[in-house]
């Protein structure tokens, strides 16, 4: 199977993983326990990988991260509105402007810089949520983190890992091995938080 198809499948899952979180925030009118830092890092990681894809001219990376950024920015907008009380215009424009400026800057640099940023941010994305979820579990607090989103994230990361192994693409492999490990841990913690609630 062509490596690009693993990338497209991973991109579809990574894009879709935001939808249950968006639905939960809108339905419950709460974003308690959802890490703004994690979702901001998702946007930044997608920006780094988009830039890397543009430099390499890799269609799956480009398309996948354009769609991923669109849904993760939506979560960031909702979190800025719910957790920080930002006006809708500011909450929408600031993340989009940051993405545009970052892509413009990163695509002018060597591919190794964009891929390094993608690796670092890809590794770091779920760590703040893991810390938040552990703290909420210890305190016996409810969490609005969507388990469906986490399972889709994990499946998407596994597909991107397969993409990296098939190409082979070392930055993609490293980022996703760590990401799969952290996301698996996060699922275990969130399952226990949800079971208590």
Integer Cα distance of 2 and 186 in angstroms = 31
Domain range for residue 20?
3-196
The C-alpha R_g of the chain, in whole angstroms, comes to 16
Whether the model clears a pTM of 0.85, i.e. scores above it, the answer is: no
Closest by CA to 39, choosing from 66, 64, 18, 13, is 18
pLDDT in tens, the chain (197 residues): 677 788 888 888 888 989 999 999 999 888 888 999 999 999 998 998 899 889 888 888 899 899 999 999 999 999 999 999 999 999 999 999 999 999 999 999 887 887 788 778 877 888 888 898 888 888 888 788 889 999 999 999 999 899 899 988 888 898 889 889 989 999 998 887 655 55
C-alpha pair distances (Å), 60 with each of 15, 57, 82, 135, 186? 13, 9, 33, 36, 27
Instruction: Report how many domains make up the chain.
Output: 1
pLDDT per position as a tens digit, 45-101: 899 889 988 988 888 889 989 999 999 999 999 999 999 999 999 999 999 999 999
């Amino acid at each position: 199977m062509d490596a690009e198809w693993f990338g497209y499948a991973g991109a579809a899952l990574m894009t879709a993983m935001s939808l249950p979180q968006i639905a939960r925030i809108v339905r419950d009118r709460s974003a308690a326990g959802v890490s703004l830092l994690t979702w901001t890092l998702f946007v930044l990681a997608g920006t780094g990988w988009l830039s890397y894809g543009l430099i390499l001219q890799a269609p799956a990376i480009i398309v996948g991260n354009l769609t991923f950024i669109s849904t993760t920015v939506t979560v960031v907008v909702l979190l800025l509105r719910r957790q920080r009380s930002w006006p809708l215009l500011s909450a929408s424009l600031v993340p989009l402007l940051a993405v545009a400026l970052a892509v413009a800057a990163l695509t002018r640099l060597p591919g190794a810089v964009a891929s390094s940023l993608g690796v670092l941010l890809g590794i770091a994305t779920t760590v703040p949520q893991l810390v938040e979820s552990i703290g909420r579990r210890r305190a016996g607090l409810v969490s609005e983190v969507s388990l469906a989103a986490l399972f889709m994230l994990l499946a998407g990361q596994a597909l991107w890992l397969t993409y990296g192994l098939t190409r082979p693409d070392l930055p993609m492999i490293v980022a996703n091995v760590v990401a799969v490990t952290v996301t698996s841990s996060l699922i275990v913690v969130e399952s226990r938080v949800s079971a208590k609630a």
